[in-house]
Amino acid sequence: MNIKQVDEVKITKYILKATFDDWMSFSENDVVIVGAGPSGLAAAYYLAKAGLKTTVFERRLSFGGGIGGGAMLFHKIIIESPADEILKEIGVKLQKFEDGVFAVDSAQFMAKLASAAIDAGAKIIHGVTVDDVIFRENPLRVTGVAVEWTATQMAGLHVDPLFISAKAVIDATGHDAEVISVASRKIPELGIVIPGEKSAYSEMAEQLTVEQSGEVAPGLYAAGMAVTEVKALPRMGPIFGAMILSGKKVADDIIEKLNLKVRNT
C-alpha cells in the first residue's frame, strides 16, 4: 500500500485554508446555538433540516452536555413519549419499561443526536465559549454573540473576542443560562429577570419546560435547562424527553418567525 505523502507545511496550510473558509462563512448565520447538549443539538437538527444556516458553539471538546454523565455516572437515561419518536427517527435504540417510558444508552444517544445535527447541515465548533451578545436598538434586539477560545478563558488571558451575527440566538447552555444571564445584566432594557430554577418535580418540570421554551427577548431564545432557570421551573433529573422536545419547540418557533419575515419582505 502506498500512502500519499503530505509534508508538514502543506498540512498546516490546508488546515488554515479549510478553517478560515468555515469561519468566513459562519461569521453570519440564521441561527447561533450556544451549547451542544441535548436541547442545543435537537434544535440544531431541526433548524438545519429546515434549511437554516445554523452554527453551534460548544465550550468543551465534546458533544452531549449532560447526556454523557448519564444518571450519577450510570450510563443510562430515561426518555418518555413523545420524544421516543425523535430518537427512533435518528436511530437510537430504546429499551421499553412501560408504555411511553424507555431507557437509552447515553453514549449512543449523544453520538446519534450530534451526527443527525451535522448530517442535516449544522456546523458544530468545539472549544469556543460564548461570553457576551451583540445587540442593536430601534428596534431593540439581540443580533449575535461574542466568541472566545475556551482555552484563552481558562488561561485568564486578556484577549478580545470575535463577533458572530445571527437572526436568532439560542441559549442552550444548561442550568446556568449563561447567555441570557449576561444579556440580562448588560442590557437591562431587554427587561429579562432570572428567578432561578426550583428543586426537582420531574413530571411537572418536563411538561412546563417544553411549553415555556421560546423567545425570552427579541432575537434571544431559551432551550433546555436554561428555560427552567429563566422561568423558575423545577428541575427534572435524568429524564431527557423535555430537553429534546424543548430544542424542537424553539427550532419550530424560529423557523416560523424567520419564514414569516421572508414572506413579509
Grid cell in block for residue 100: 411511553
Q: Cβ of residue 50: shortest distance to ligand 48F, in angstroms?
A: 20
- Whether 44 contacts 33, CB under 8 Å: yes
Whether residue 256 is annotated as binding a ligand: the answer is no
Q: Cβ of residue 140: shortest distance to ligand 48F, in angstroms?
A: 22
Number of H helices, E strands in the chain: 9, 11
Whether residue 225 is annotated as binding a ligand: the answer is yes
Q: Which is nearer to ligand 48F, 13 or 185 (CB)?
A: 185
Whether residue 236 is annotated as binding a ligand: the answer is no
E strands of the chain, at which residues? 28-34, 54-58, 76-80, 95-98, 101-105, 123-126, 128-136, 141-149, 162-171, 214-217, 220-222
Restricted to residues 198-257, the positions that interact with ligand 48F (CB under 6 A) are 224-226, 235-237, 240, 243
Residues 34, 55: Cα–Cα separation, whole Å: 9
Q: Which of 78, 169, 172, 194 binds ligand 48F (CB under 6 A)?
A: 172
58 binds ligand 48F per the rule CB under 6 A: yes
Q: Cβ of residue 138: shortest distance to ligand 48F, in angstroms?
A: 28
Restricted to residues 67-86, the positions that interact with ligand 48F (CB under 6 A) are 67
59 binds ligand 48F per the rule CB under 6 A: yes
Which residues on adjacent β-strands are paired with residue 220?
Answer: 169, 217
Binding-site residues for glycine = 235
